[in-house]
Amino acid sequence: MKTNSLLTVLVLFFVCYIFSASKDPGNPPAGKTGAPGESTCAQTSCHNGGTFTGTVSIAGIPDTVAPNQTYTITLTQASNATRAGFQITCLNESNNACGTFTAGSGSSKTTSNSRQYVRQSSPKTLSGGTASWSFTWQAPATLTGNTNITFYFSSLAANGNGQKTGDNVLLGTQQTILYQEPAVGIEPNQNTRAQVALYPMPAKETLYLTMPYAQGTLSLYNMQGEHILTTPVTAHSQLPVGNLPRGMYIAQIKTEHTQTSRKIILE
């Protein structure tokens, strides 16, 4: 009789332990990033009642990304909470999935409603007020129309008591742009693109621009897709480049009538 009673107690303890652990789960349900059409875990039926303060942010995505390039993203919660989880998705201007995620250590990937998500496979305890996860994202080969890309992410700030009460959600977004060569036919005629010139090549201290337009802008990107500078230009412009690191860049020239790109070399 005592053996049966002890066995019953152990079974109940184990069930309670599993039930408690499920309140602080890995692999949370998708669609909780706060992106358009989504909610978060901060609901009466889920995690609620917390007053933790802090931020959630991502690092590793430059202002401009290159087609098919893979980037390592580190998502970090910085707060006064005890435990943390996260979820992230990436959408284009039409709020459709954009790029390809690959999960890293402590995270998993899932798909829901044609959107990709990376989320914690197990929650983390904050150390020094922060908890981080790293994973990768590959930019798409191309985008139709607007090339804006937005990452939507949320992070659960939890008290670690194994319950859903006393927790709250931190939200964040970050935008980038996919660099793309202009499509054929974007210019008024086929000769104008050839009339946009950057010289000498390679350049050292000064880069000269000539074009058949009165004014526009020139944006410079390195080969990792990072935005270096944007400056106004006219039909005949001189650009000082002596203070820039030597190497290859992409110059994007935009006017009211056209957009074109050139590779330039600084040495």
- Considering the domain architecture, whether residues 171 and 203 belong to the same structural domain is answered as no
H or E segment to which residue 194 belongs: helix 190-194
Structure confidence at residue 20 (pLDDT) = 38
Structure confidence at residue 163 (pLDDT) = 74
- Considering the domain architecture, whether residues 167 and 252 belong to the same structural domain is answered as no
Structure confidence at residue 179 (pLDDT) = 73
* Assigned domain for 2 exists: no
- Considering the domain architecture, whether residues 63 and 171 belong to the same structural domain is answered as yes
Structure confidence at residue 55 (pLDDT) = 96
- Considering the domain architecture, whether residues 32 and 94 belong to the same structural domain is answered as yes
| Domain interval for residue 78 | 24-178
Bond prior to 36 in cis (omega within 30° of 0): no
Closest listed residue to residue 85, CA positions, set 42, 128, 136, 149: 42
Query: Which amino acid type is present at position 187?
Result: E
b/e per residue 96-124 (b: at least 16 CB within 10 A): ebbbebebbebbbbbeeeebbbbbbbebb
What is the sign, positive or negative, of the torsion defined by CA atoms of 215, 221, 226, 229?
Answer: negative
- Considering the domain architecture, whether residues 82 and 204 belong to the same structural domain is answered as no
Q: Reduce the DSSP state of residue 262 to 3 states and report it.
A: strand
CB 190 within 8 A of CB 182: no
Structure confidence at residue 46 (pLDDT) = 63
* Assigned domain for 234 exists: yes
Place of tokens 């129309």: 145
- Considering the domain architecture, whether residues 201 and 171 belong to the same structural domain is answered as no
Give the residue from 148, 178, 208 where a domain finishes.
178
CB 253 within 8 A of CB 216: yes
- pLDDT 10s per residue in the chain (267 long)? 445 554 444 433 443 333 333 444 677 888 889 999 997 876 555 666 678 999 999 999 987 788 888 999 999 999 999 999 999 999 998 999 999 999 999 999 999 999 999 999 989 999 999 999 999 999 999 877 667 899 999 999 998 887 777 788 999 999 888 876 544 434 444 455 557 888 898 899 999 998 888 899 999 988 777 889 999 999 899 999 999 999 889 898 988 877 888 888 898
Place of tokens 């875990």: 41
* Assigned domain for 189 exists: no
* Assigned domain for 138 exists: yes
Give the residue from 131, 151, 178 where a domain finishes.
178
- Considering the domain architecture, whether residues 153 and 204 belong to the same structural domain is answered as no
* Assigned domain for 4 exists: no
Residue 252, exposed/middle/buried by CB under 10 A (0-12, 13-18, 19+)?
buried
pTM over 0.85: no
Structure confidence at residue 185 (pLDDT) = 39
* Assigned domain for 161 exists: yes
What is the total count of domains within the chain?
2
Please report, for the domain that includes residue 223, its CATH number. Answer: 2.60.40.3080
- Considering the domain architecture, whether residues 170 and 57 belong to the same structural domain is answered as yes
CB 143 within 8 A of CB 132: no
H or E segment to which residue 240 belongs: strand 227-240
- Considering the domain architecture, whether residues 156 and 222 belong to the same structural domain is answered as no
- Considering the domain architecture, whether residues 138 and 242 belong to the same structural domain is answered as no
Structure confidence at residue 111 (pLDDT) = 96
Give the residue from 143, 178, 213 where a domain finishes.
178
- Considering the domain architecture, whether residues 172 and 205 belong to the same structural domain is answered as no
CB 77 within 8 A of CB 85: no
Please report, for the domain that includes residue 37, its CATH number. Answer: 2.60.40.4060
Name, in order, each residue with C-beta under 8 angstroms of 219's C-beta and a sequence gap of 6 or more. Answer: 227, 229, 230, 251, 252, 254
- Considering the domain architecture, whether residues 208 and 106 belong to the same structural domain is answered as no
